[in-house]
Amino acid sequence: MFGPLSSLLTHDMAIDLGTANTLIHVSGSGIVVDEPSVVAYHVKDGRKRVIAVGKAAKEMQGRTPRSIQVVRPMRDGVIADFAVAEEMIKYFMRRVDRVSVFAKPKVIVCVPHGATAVEKRAIRQSVLSAGARTAGLIPEPIAAALGAGLEILGPQGCMIVDIGGGTTEVAVLSMGDIVYATSIRVGGDYMDETLVNYALDELSIHMGYRTAERIKNSLGTARIPEDGAGEKVSFQGRSKDGGHPAEVYISQRMIAEALRDPVDQIRRAVSTACHRIPPELSADLWENGIVLTGGGALLKEIDIALHEYSKLTVTIAEDPLKCVATGTGIALAMGKRLGPIIDFES
């Protein structure tokens, strides 16, 4: 009922509601919100009060008193905590616009290919409750491909591998739709976890998750260095034996060993996709190769690791952390040209 007036007063938004990061794209302005999907609460007498959202909340992770809870409401690309997710989305949407009953934006959100009907409904409902006029859903691999600049409407097949915080989605697209897709619960979070476990088992030190992420992002590599240990970095944690603060060194070789399992699982998902598609599309992939998106695409030598295994050309998309949000924005602008791919109700 507020349709035409509403669009004059507000900005339509494309939202990438990720396990690690939430981004909002607004046409004409680009990405206007880019924040960790984290909320910090103060809990008193059983009542919760939001004290920080995004970067400020992430800063508090792992170092809060008992009265403060730091929550990541998204898990594996879907909502794990509905109430917190809604608060977070509302907070970010208000940063873009003052959402009111007279000015409710039209919103498109991307959802993992593997999300169930219930999970999709929860995502749509949280965006509507946060103040959207309508909430359309688009499969994440299609958004990632659009954001990476791929021509998805033609008959030429392409493969997109989106390595996020919670999941890696491998998809083969043709004629604007998904021919094959798979999603594995392996992404940056699991890589951090393997590093934390490695530090405990091999270096006898409890490493914090934020330290693990920082080390993975700066020095992490998908392949064991060909000669020597590679670069080294020191970090602090709690010693396994005495429990006192301690400092040790970790090398790129050690990090690559720690990351071996997540990298192997991603390789295998790509290999399975290659085996499951029709031969005509295999021929297209031979020509076009694989495009990597998501934060995990920034892991050093992940492109080489995937090339060695699949023999396909592997390209890292420009600005891989932003592809899904940019692509969701492109989908919003394309509207009906994308046909039934954007699902406005279910």
Ligand X SMILES: Nc1ncnc2c1ncn2[C@@H]1O[C@H](COP(=O)(O)OP(=O)(O)OP(=O)(O)O)[C@@H](O)[C@H]1O
Interacting residues with ligand X (CB under 6 A): 18-21, 77, 164-167, 187-189, 213, 216-217, 220, 294-296, 298-299, 321
Residue closer to ligand X by CB (options 290, 299) is 299
Question: Residue 104: how many CA atoms within 13 Å on its side-chain side?
Answer: 15
Residue closer to ligand X by CB (options 52, 79) is 79
The site partner of 143 among ligand X, Mg ion, none (C-beta below 5 to 8 Å per kind) is: none
The site partner of 237 among ligand X, Mg ion, none (C-beta below 5 to 8 Å per kind) is: none
CB of 4 to ligand X, least distance (A): 33
C-alpha 265/C-alpha 309 separation (Å) is: 12
Q: Is 165 exposed, middle or buried (CB count within 10 Å of its CB: 0-12, 13-18, 19+)? A: buried
CB of 1 to ligand X, least distance (A): 34
Residue with tokens 């219930």: 118
Residue closer to ligand X by CB (options 281, 306) is 306
The site partner of 187 among ligand X, Mg ion, none (C-beta below 5 to 8 Å per kind) is: ligand X
The site partner of 224 among Mg ion, ligand X, none (C-beta below 5 to 8 Å per kind) is: none
**Mapping DSSP to helix (H, G, I), strand (E, B) and coil, where does residue 277 land?**
coil
139 binds Mg ion (CB under 5 A): no
CB of 324 to Mg ion, least distance (A): 5
Residue closer to Mg ion by CB (options 18, 237) is 18
C-alpha 189/C-alpha 182 separation (Å) is: 18
Torsion of CA 27, 31, 36, 41, to 10 degrees: -60
CA angle 336, 157, 167 (to 5 degrees): 80
Residue closer to Mg ion by CB (options 208, 294) is 294
CB of 343 to Mg ion, least distance (A): 18
Residue closer to ligand X by CB (options 86, 213) is 213
State the number of binding residues for Mg ion (CB under 5 A): 2
CA angle 70, 74, 76 (to 5 degrees): 130
CA distances in angstroms from 250 to 198, 235, 301, listed in the order given: 10, 8, 18
C-alpha 133/C-alpha 97 separation (Å) is: 13
CA angle 274, 119, 271 (to 5 degrees): 10
Residue 217 in contact with residue 209, Cβ under 8 Å? no
Q: Which of residues 149-188 bind Mg ion (CB under 5 A)?
A: 164
Of all residues in the shown chain, the one whose CB is closest to Mg ion is: 164
* End-to-end CA separation in angstroms for the chain: 20
> Contact letters (x/-) for Mg ion, 9-38, by CB under 5 A?
---------x--------------------
CB of 211 to Mg ion, least distance (A): 23
The site partner of 262 among Mg ion, ligand X, none (C-beta below 5 to 8 Å per kind) is: none
Residues 32-50 as b or e (16 or more Cβ within 10 Å = b): bbbbbbbbbbeeeeeeeeb
Copy the structure tokens of residue 86: 């809604």
The site partner of 296 among Mg ion, ligand X, none (C-beta below 5 to 8 Å per kind) is: ligand X
The site partner of 299 among Mg ion, ligand X, none (C-beta below 5 to 8 Å per kind) is: ligand X
By C-alpha distance, which of 126, 88, 92 is closest to 11?
A: 92
CB of 148 to ligand X, least distance (A): 12
User: What is the contact surface with Mg ion in residues (CB under 5 A)?
Assistant: 18, 164
